[in-house]
Amino acid sequence: MSKSILILKASPRERGNSALLASQAAEGARQAGAVVESIYLHSLDIRPCDACDLCRENDGECVIQDDMQILYPKLRAANAILIATPVYWFTLSAQAKLFIDRWYALLGEKPNPLRGKRFALLLSYGDSDLQTSGGIHALHTFEHMVTYLRGEMVGCVHASADNPGDVLNQPALLDEAFRLGHFFFECCSVHREEHTLGHCPIYHHHLCPGLLLYWRVERTYRRPVETLASRLLLARSHL
């Protein structure tokens, strides 16, 4: 499988916490042989979607002449898309949301060119956890979006880190972001249902890296940790 990852950094802080997580994921992906391109969205001219629906008549071509015209071909070409964003007002940053709104144009192309791509989310927030920070809303929004696009959600790494660079004091999270990048194309997210039964059909054991990343999120907000898989994972928290 070709491995190219497009990383979109959606904080105004170029070296902020989400960007640092993104660098780790990029390094992990490169070490796994992927071609990685990172883009700092805040420096680009990205205008809001006009809802003109001309993209529906133009096979998915957006008529707004701004920097999205550079990003559309990159989105089409990438095998995987990773968004790194701070939590702003209990959800994604405006930079991330503006950019994602403009994906609407791509739905004018049949089939939608984002279908089947892999997606992941990196989040940083000032509050203490995914719930109180509102990171949970960012994650839900992203997951709904990926499901709607018929993409594959690979994982989410989220960090409580407020001042720029705070995340550097959390080596376990940096490692998690690295592993997310490293295992991006190995995680068998397509088999999520089997995962929930505690079996990974690719790894044939219970320590599929994608499963590990997912269970950290599951433990945080989805349901009590009850299954055989999660008991095993708790017993062996890292690879």
Can you give the binding site for ligand FMN, defined by CB under 6 A? Answer: 11, 13, 16-19, 86-90, 124-127, 133-134, 161-162, 164
C-beta of 177: minimal distance to ligand FMN in Å?
A: 12
C-beta of 36: minimal distance to ligand FMN in Å?
A: 18
Token pair 């890296």 is found at 209
Return the structure tokens found at 227: 């299954």
C-alpha to C-alpha distance for 192 and 154, rounded to whole angstroms:
10
Closer residue to ligand FMN in complex, CB, 55/161:
161
Closer residue to ligand FMN in complex, CB, 60/134:
134
C-beta of 193: minimal distance to ligand FMN in Å?
A: 32
Q: Which of 169, 86, 154 is nearest to 116 (CA)?
A: 154
Closer residue to ligand FMN in complex, CB, 87/154:
87
Tally: H helices and E strands in the chain:
9, 5
C-alpha to C-alpha distance for 135 and 153, rounded to whole angstroms:
16
Q: How many other C-beta atoms lie within 10 A of the C-beta of residue 230?
A: 19
Closer residue to ligand FMN in complex, CB, 19/212:
19
C-beta of 169: minimal distance to ligand FMN in Å?
A: 12
Question: Are 113 and 75 within 8 A, CB to CB?
Answer: yes
- Specify the DSSP element, H or E, that contains 81: strand 80-86
Q: Is the dihedral of CA 7, 113, 118, 50 positive or negative?
A: positive
C-beta of 218: minimal distance to ligand FMN in Å?
A: 21
Closer residue to ligand FMN in complex, CB, 167/208:
167
